[in-house]
Amino acid sequence: MSQSRPQLGLIGFGAFGRLTAKHLSPWFDILAHDPAASDGEGRARLTTLEEAAACPMVVLAVPVGVLAETVAAIAPHVTPGALILDVGSVKVKPAKVMLDGLPEGVDIVGTHPLFGPQSGKDGIAGLRIAVCPVRGDKAAWRVAAFCRKALGLKVFVVTPEDHDREAATVQGLTHLIAKVLLAMEPLPTRMTTTSFERVMQGVDMVRHDSAAVFRAIEHDNPFAAEVRRRFFDLAEQARAELDD
């Protein structure tokens, strides 16, 4: 790879890591680490954890459930002044994990691309991303500007708390309803309405998300339990009205 571009360490080369590499490879030489990966797909060079963690920018594309151990593993190898980002579905917990586990001399930005391999398969321009300053406000605004200008994303700069408060409804209810509908399959496909088809389009966008993604959205978001409680209470109220 050319050395004229900055290096970016990518920890995790699963489905979202590969999507990340696809869209960042025009601007960065990507050094990816993932013990389960066998091929960089022409967009990244697979390397050791130590080398990937020592890049001036490091993206943590790992499940929220293993973020703490990942941070502990890279902490001895990150360089002073580096920028560390995560791409998890929740932000309060990852922000605390990174603040507690990374050296003082690195900038930290939480990001949540509000799309995935399925919803971004036809391109990501015009899609949304949340950018959360954690340590180093200027770094967060640089990330936001890059996402807007280079990637064409619609950027929301918010606190981790504000992100999780909204995501508890936006993602929490989407994944909860999708989980129930998937359990009810097979569902009708012949005489359907446009509204039903759009509901199923939403289900299909999260159909192949891992159990770890569902757990992060429902269990690692501090506001999700209250949203679920209200949803179930209102559903029970509707059932009672129908029973009457």
> Which single residue is written with the structure tokens 């932000």?
91
* Domain topology for 7-158: Rossmann fold (3.40.50)
- Tell me the per-residue pLDDT of 9-46, one tens digit each, with 9 for 90 and over: 999 999 999 999 999 999 999 999 999 999 999 999 99
Cα R_g (the chain), whole angstroms: 19
Distance (Å, rounded) from C-alpha 49 to C-alpha 44?
Answer: 14
Q: Are 190 and 63 in contact (CB under 8 A)?
A: no
Mean pLDDT of the residues in the chain: 96
Instruction: Name residue 25's amino acid.
Output: S
Residue 86: strand pairing partners:
60, 110
**Strand 154-157 with 57-60, pairing:** unpaired
Q: What is the model's pLDDT at position 118?
A: 86
The tokens describing 198, both together, are: 């759009």
| Omega of the bond leading into 117 within 30 degrees of 0 (cis) | no
Confidence class of residue 219 from pLDDT cuts 50, 70 and 90?
very high
Which pLDDT score, from 0 to 100, does residue 233 have? 98
DSSP-H helix ranges across the chain = 15-24, 49-53, 67-74, 92-101, 137-149, 160-183, 194-206, 211-219, 224-243
d(CA 150, CA 241): 52
Indicate the SS3 state at residue 242.
Answer: helix
Express each pLDDT in 172-213 by its tens digit. 999 999 999 999 999 999 999 999 999 999 999 999 988 999
How many residues comprise the chain?
A: 244
- The confidence score (pLDDT) of residue 2 equals 45
Per-residue pLDDT band for 171 (boundaries 50, 70, 90) equals: very high
Condensed to tens digits (0 to 9), the pLDDT of residues 108-125 reads 999 999 999 988 989 999
Mean pLDDT, residues 217-241 taken together? 98
DSSP at 11: E
Contact 154/127 with Cβ under 8 angstroms? Answer: yes
Contact (Cβ atoms closer than 8 angstroms) between residue 74 and residue 47: no
Residue 26 three-state SS: coil
What are the structure tokens assigned to 37, written together?
């990966």
The residue extents of the domains of the chain are 7-158, 162-243
Q: What is the DSSP letter of 76?
A: T
Tens digits of residue pLDDT in 125-166 = 999 999 999 999 999 999 999 999 999 999 999 999 999 999
pLDDT digits (tens, 9 = 90+) for 51-107: 999 999 999 999 999 999 999 999 999 999 999 999 999 999 999 999 999 999 999
